[in-house]
Structure 1
Amino acid sequence: MRTSHKMDPVSLTGLGLGVISLTFQLFSGCLKAYNLLADARGMPAQFQYLRIRVRTEQHRLGNWALVANLTEQSGSLSTSLQLNEALVQEVLREQETILTSFWKVSHPHTLMIDDPKPGPVSGTEGEADLQERVPQSKSSLEDRALRFVEKMRRYPSRIRWSTFDRERLETSISQLSALNDAMMSLLDSQQQYKFHQAQIRTSMQVLHLNKKVDHLLQLFQANSMQLSMAQFSQNLRLLHSMQLSAYSSEPQEERQTLATLARFKALNVEINLDSDDERSNTSTGIFEQPPLDPRSCTIFSSVPSSYSPEEVRSDGIYENIPVWIEWKYYEPVLHIGHVDPHTQVRISRLSALLSNPQKPTQFHTPSCIGYFNDVSNYRFGLVFRRPIDVSSVGVPSSLFDLIISNEKPSLSMRVHLAHTLATAVQYLHSTDWLHKAFRSQNVVFFTNPGDTDISTPYLCGFGLSRPAQNTEMTEQPDSIPLYNLYRHPLAHSSIAVDGKSGFKKAFDVYSLGIVLLELALWMPLYRVLGVDDRNLQRSLQPGVTKKVRELLLRESRYLEMVKASAGDVFADVIRACVEGFGEEGESLHDKVVVRLETISI
């Protein structure tokens, strides 16, 4: 086994640092080496995605150290890790050896040299802003580790590539990834869960920080790297030599999820750029879709819903495929007698995104075939495939309709649905895609009459949605009073929605909170508020619906009802959504998604 320089912990006492654990020393060395490799100058622009993968493995090691409770003191690790601490130290030594082999003079294949030139990575190398695109550690542990290693070890201040070797760097990254996988396998089950949550949190931060198409595609490329058979065999031999367990599929699934979200966000950004001048040179290949031929679609009549005077959804057949259609009504332009071209562009863009085959499954959106213009009825129809594995006929049932007409499902089923919906909103927002019409009428299920299976929801009603950065793609608040019950009070005004700041993620989160309230109580919000069915439209005037948030937060009885029906945690989650907690994706993850996971039935 290769070894690297280490200092006797006892000898550190004379330097005023006390007794520093060997594990902390090795971790500190790895952290510094990761920084040097990630910041090295001279990497060709087309391989910048490899910097991201180096940073990814660095973040994984940092998250492991936090979950493992690593400190400067010996004995700080959990009991299970203390039993394996010698193995942990061996893995850390191996990581540092791999990292430093690129620039250590003693290594026979050194590819890097000291670079005394101060300052950040050169902008001509395409990554001057990399530091702004990856989360900066807020961990005092990592700060202490880097301060320690600056005092205790000799490292170059900066390095640069003298000869760039993509294959060797990719192989080294795969080894570092395998070693981090092994480190994770040494954690107990509770620690592994915390590590997984930390990784999701990091992924949400990364997606939030990357907003340009070319940057997002680099992120996709970094997390889509596939091992060659030679690399796979080499990694297995490495782990076997250290008596470590083989691969877990979970880290690869995490990377694949991040890759999928990054690619979809890139599509989202590109397809909704304000003008052709701003379109990235790096095309993602998805543009506006031409409409379907209405003559190819047979529409079955459907009864207008109890809450809207217009048809919302219809059953149908498109080219012998069972489908359902969601209607988007428009006002014809009087002087030309048909739809405003801007409206058609918006529907076309929406259809392109919803029908994209790489759409993340976590969105829980149905499979869209395309759209057509039903000119005689002044409406667009978004055409969706019916799920293959359902036997029900007719249009899907909305959560609102199920709450009105069906018996209350078990609490475990309702908690599971709450978590699924919260996760869907989290992932939508991670790609900067706002729903803008999130309500129980737009959560649908394919169920048989009387069936209360709510395990497989689909989010629809995306007629009002738009990318977060595009202020052109906005629409007036709904004219149907019931819908406005689900809107944040600041989203009632067309000025707020169409103004400079535009629609916010917090408005979607507020709407999620209202749906979770209905789900917890299995009661529509208007009934929770004491509004009679017969006076529904007359009672829900804008002056009333705009005050719902204030009422729910001021009057404790509403959340007390939730506590009695679904427990304290469910009530706390609803309060967090209704109160709001900023625009950061990790807040939704921590305050809603993770908290719902903690509910035990």
Structure 2
Amino acid sequence: MADPLSVAAGAAGLISLSLQLFGSCIKGFVLLSTARNLEKDASIIVCMLNFEEIRLTEWARRAGILTDDGTLDRRLNATAVEAALRQLRDLLLDTKTLKKRYGLALVERNSTQQQTVGLLEEADSISETPTVSTGISGDIRRRILSKAGLAQEPGVLKRLWWAAVDKEKISRLVADVHSLVSALWDHLDPWRHDDLLDTTRNIGSYLVSLNNKFDQISSLAEALKALQGALQGAQQSPTDIGLNNSVALAGVKALRVGLGEGEQQQSAETPKRQTLLNKLEPLTRLKLTNFKPLKREATMGLAEYDGNVVFVEKKSLDPMTRSKILPRAQNLAALLNLPKDETFHSLTCKGIVEEGGMVSFVFNHPNPDSAGEPRSLLELFSAKDGIPPPSLTVRVQLALRVSCIVQNFHRTGWLHKNLRSENILFFPSKDEADSHEKLLTHPVLAGFAFARAGAPTEISERPSADPKRDIYRHPAALGEPAESFSADMDTYSLGTVLLEIAEWRSLRYLVDSVVDVGAADVPLNRLAEVQPFLLRGDGKGGTSKLRVKMGDIYTQACRGCLGAEIKEEDPREGNAFGASPSVLDLAVRHLERCRI
């Protein structure tokens, strides 16, 4: 990891105002700390100032000022931060104010008594002063001042002496310095909470991914639940949210491992499979009646089961692979039956019904009182049947919710393989009949017909060829794939949906300059040109207007999913566990940082 106090960036380019002001504050601390002729009581006061210097330096590190480029974290209000630093600088360096307000007189030592020395030499000499102790070394001060462009300033700072010290008044100086430093920390607190949320999620996710035996992961889930329970009763914090996510993830993985789907599958786990499957409601095809397919998707629709309205997804069973696909369908049903975190919003599966060459996933309707037909995201884009383009805020929130659903599905160890706006559903309730924006807060992931566990050895079913749907697929997943389907291919499909949400328009119209999906015959090589067209971001349609409409952060998230390089928006000190986040994880973090 690069030294956070590296001076390379400061020497190579322009120095930010925040860094200059911070460096001036450190200069002020050096001035006061290295002044001579201290009595014992005054020496204690200076030690207190040294603690404030330590706090300010740690704040600067967390605020991004001591990163390689020396720029303030863009989430912070630069105007407020610079105003506080300017006040602190003036407080420490204005000798007239020091004398008038705090009774602190500093005078130059006669040059005949001692040769003058530079500011940086004073920074070194403090550690040699027996009456003063500090956690900021002269070397750190030197590098900070050099980074701030203050190392070679014209003129030589004379060695100063304390000519007069009023203990009570100088205590006020310490209190005023403390107040300004605390104000800077208070401004950082909300973003520190965000960092805590990221850290909590990372720790929980890492611990869950580290354990691959049913007993281990079940014990971890119980431990996380206990910690969650201990925090209940207090106002919800980022830590609580992160724990909720980790508890849900641990429970889902415990189920997946128990079903025998882990890559490090243990033979001893398979007896638990039947116990877990028994949690599904035993269904009979005689009670499943009155199936009514959706307008644009014949394999999904509403039906009745035992007199109650349910949502059904149908899947064909190939006789040649039935023995392998049917257990997979059972496992998926058990997975979707499990209670899930609010960020993993999918319908609750009651169970499956097999009839002829089909298997039907039967889901509880989320709004049984209204039991209305769901609308797909693709339908909502339609000028005729859709809704007016929602606000930028609503679109960003929708993109984040959909991304989190896919992220959590991947964390269970499964791949969707059929991500597109047609499979993002919304179930209107009576209260949402006149509120389009409220409807968009509850997206549901559907279309699991081709979903499978993520292990490369898993048998993979090829979706039927349809250009209108193939434009959502990664080029390597078209035709007869040359490589096994991967999570990044799902992430690519998510990127196309994020683009649609940004433009509030179907993908087919955004790529029509490359491929006409309504043509009688669309060759695969034309479909394969969609990804490079989207990544180029030029011409008409595609991502050409994405940055203007949605801003830099959203654009990075969307393009990252589509295959462009994606980096941390605000780099931290790195992952303590050494685990690299996936492209989807980085995209979610970017979307979480969007501020409208």
Partner residue, 2:331: 349
Distance across 1 between alignment mates of 2:53 and 2:584: 32
C-alpha separation between the residues in 2 aligned to 1:269 and 1:228? 25
Indicate conservation of the 8 Å contact 1:434/1:466, yes or no. Answer: yes
Q: Is 1:597–2:572 an aligned residue pair?
A: no
Are residues 391 and 551 of structure 1, via their aligned partners in 2, closer, same or farther at CA, if it must alter by over 3 Å? same
Name which one, 1 or 2, has greater alpha-carbon Rg: 2
Instruction: Using the TM superposition, give the Cα deviation of residue 493 of structure 1 relative to its aligned residue in structure 2, in angstroms.
Output: 4.7
Structure 1 gaps, min length 5: 1-9, 11-18, 27-61, 72-77, 83-183, 234-245, 334-338
Q: Mean alpha-carbon deviation: is it higher for 286-295 or for 515-524?
A: 286-295
- Aligned-pair CA distance for 1:277: 6.2
Per-residue Cα deviation, 1:570-598 (whole angstroms, up to 9, x for no partner): 222211110156995454333x2232233
Question: Does 1:280 pair with 2:266?
Answer: no
Question: How far did 1:470 drift?
Answer: 5.7
The aligned counterpart of 1:409 is: 389
SS at match of 1:380: strand
State the secondary structure of the residue aligned to 2:343.
helix
TM-score (norm 2): 0.60
Count of aligned pairs between the two proteins: 416
Distance of 1:222 and 1:24 partners within structure 2: 40
1:447 aligns with 2:448: no
Cα offsets for 1:509-535 (capped at 9, x unmatched): 111100011111111111111279996
Work out whether residues 205 and 586 of structure 1, in 8 Å CA contact, stay in contact via their aligned partners in 2. no
For the residue of structure 1 that corresponds to 2:250, the secondary structure is helix
Aligned equivalent of 2:348, options 367, 375, 388: 367
Q: Secondary structure at the match of 1:559?
A: coil
Residue of structure 2 equivalent to 1:196: 197
Is contact 2:217-2:253 (8 Å) kept? Answer: yes
Q: In the alignment, which residue of structure 2 is the partner of 1:461? A: 447
Kept in 2, the 8 Å contact 1:207–1:431? The answer is no
Structure 1 residue 428: Cα displacement: 2.1
Cα–Cα, structure 1 residues 207 and 429, in superposed 2: closer, same or farther, change >3 Å? Answer: farther
Which residue number corresponds to residue 314 of structure 2? 327
Question: Is contact 2:258–2:270 with CA below 8 Å preserved after alignment?
Answer: no
Q: Which residue of 1 aligns with 2:248?
A: 260
- In the TM superposition, residue 416 of structure 1 has moved relative to its aligned partner by 1.0
Shift of 1:327: 1.4
Query: 1:277 & 1:203 partners in 2: Cα distance?
Result: 23
Q: 2:410 aligns with which of 407, 412, 429?
A: 429
Q: Look up the SS of the partner of 2:293 in the other structure.
A: coil
Work out whether residues 418 and 519 of structure 1, in 8 Å CA contact, stay in contact via their aligned partners in 2: yes
Whether 1:506 and 2:488 are equivalent positions in the alignment is: yes
Partner of 1:16: none
Question: Residues of 2 paired with 1:533 and 1:561: CA distance?
Answer: 19
Map 1:313-324; keep pairs closer than 5 Å.
Answer: 313-324=300-311
Q: Give the counterpart letter for 1:318 in structure 2.
A: Y
1:271 maps to: 259
Distance 1:190 1:290, change over 3 A: closer
Does residue 379 of structure 1 match 2:358?
yes
Q: Please, which of 275, 290, 299 is the counterpart of residue 290 of structure 2?
A: 299
Checking the alignment, whether the CA contact within 8 Å between 2:291 and 2:303 is kept in structure 1 is: yes
Deviations 1:112-167 (A, max 9, x none): xxxxxxxxxxxxxxxxxxxxxxxxxxxxxxxxxxxxxxxxxxxxxxxxxxxxxxxx
- Counterpart in 2 of 1:123? none
Q: How do 1:37-436 residues align onto structure 2 when only pairs under 5 Å count?
A: 67=62, 188-226=189-227, 249-273=237-261, 278-280=267-269, 283=272, 285-287=275-277, 292-302=283-293, 305=296, 311-333=298-320, 340-357=322-339, 359-375=340-356, 378-388=357-367, 391=370, 393-394=372-373, 396-404=374-382, 405-410=385-390, 411-436=392-417
Q: Does structure 1 residue 541 correspond to structure 2 residue 523?
A: yes
Q: 1:303 to 1:277 in 2, by over 3 A?
A: closer
* Unaligned residue ranges in structure 2 (runs of 5+): 1-32, 34-46, 67-75, 86-184, 567-578
CA distance in 1, matches of 2:202, 2:470: 32
Q: Matches of 1:319 and 1:353 in 2, distance apart? A: 23
CA contact (8 A) 1:204 1:586 kept: no
Would you say the 8 A contact 2:221–2:251 is kept in 1? yes
Amino acid at match of 1:201: N
Contact 1:298 / 1:316 at 8 angstroms: preserved in 2?
yes
1:463 CA displacement: 2.0
Give me the whole-angstrom Cα distance separating, in 1, the residues matched to 2:201 and 2:60. 16
Matched letter for residue 584 of structure 2:
L
- Hey, what's the Cα distance between the residues in 1 that align with 2:515 and 2:531? 21
- Is 1:550 aligned with 2:537? no
**Distance change >3 Å, CA 281–CA 579, structure 1 → 2:** closer
Mark the CA change 1:589 to 1:303 in structure 2 (over 3 Å): closer, same or farther: closer
Give 1:227 shift: 8.9
Q: 2-side partners of 1:412 and 1:252: how far apart?
A: 25
Identity across aligned pairs (percent)? 26
Displacement of 1:66: 7.6
CA distance in 2, matches of 1:186, 1:532: 48
Offset at 1:186?
11
Higher relative contact order (CA closer than 8 Å, sequence separation 6+): 1
Distance 1:441 1:232 in 2: 38
Contact 1:374 1:380 (C-alpha < 8 Å) held by counterparts: yes
